[in-house]
Homo-oligomer: A and B are copies of this chain.
Amino acid sequence: MSNQVDLNADVGESYGAFRIGADDEILSYVTSANIACGWHAGDPLVMGRTVELASRAGAGIGAHPGFPDLLGFGRRNLQISRDEAKAYVLYQIGALEAFVRRTGQSLQHVKLHGAMYNLVSKDAVLASAVIEGILEYDPDLILVAFSGSRFAQLAHEAGLPVAHEVFADRAYAPDGTLVSRTSEGALIKDAETAAARALRMITDGLVQASDGQDIQVRPDTICIHGDTPGAVSFARAVREALENAGVRIRPLREFIG
């Protein structure tokens, strides 16, 4: 099916004296960086540093907007309106871009964070609001959206470049959604297993769901978690396995849009 893929990771999640993640190490394995924009994580100093770090590492730079919930790290659902969804995303994209400009680069992509990612994936009203905001801001920005989601479909129909995202270290339900983190077997902790799943998604466009059936996915980009113990060695293992199998690891901007 394909022999190329992007690897993306959330970075820039520190906040003031609060440190999270091993950004510089993770950035040597991924090709796209989702940078927190100061709402669920990140602050202006961290954003500036992370943009430079990602830029030097050659990673595509992405805005990673989330809910205004630093206390919950953007992982708790918040009931926002259509107008709020659009304005919150615009605000955060603009804030990040202020730090991108001086690197001589431009923003590559937008990926929503945590509970906002999940909520907008399946809510057509919020999805269209976010799409509208991104189109107004810059219609060339690539939207990273869950493979097969309503959000991905609506963005494609609206003319936005879309990168379909898959998860190598998460179990899929038969309906194509992710098995909840709290369910047994939801997390695939073995890097080799994860790499094998990633490889099959890339070469065949298929992943085995929790009921044993295969489901179709479109793996433009694979999410690499950066804030778990062992995240760095996991990232390295997945990357090496893919490269050994002949997959080219490239930033989204080189093959999407």
Interface residues of A (CB under 8 A from B): 15-20, 38, 41, 43-45, 47-48, 68-73, 75-80, 83-84, 87-88, 90-99, 101-102, 115, 136-137
Copies of this chain: 4
Q: Which residues of B contact A73 (CB under 8 A)?
A: 16-18
**What's the least CB distance linking A21 to chain B, in Å?**
11
Question: Would you call A20 and B17 a contact (CB within 8 A)?
Answer: yes
Contacts of A136 in B (CB 8 A): 101-102
Question: Is B18's CB under 8 angstroms from A48's CB?
Answer: no
Give me 14 other A-B pairs in contact (C-beta within 8 A), A90-B99, A91-B98, A94-B99 excluded. Answer: A15-B71, A16-B72, A17-B20, A17-B75, A18-B20, A47-B87, A47-B91, A68-B71, A69-B78, A76-B79, A78-B78, A93-B98, A94-B94, A94-B95
Q: Are A90 and B44 in contact (CB-based, < 8 A)?
A: yes
**Using Cβ atoms and an 8 Å threshold, which residues of chain B touch A95?**
91-92, 94-95, 98
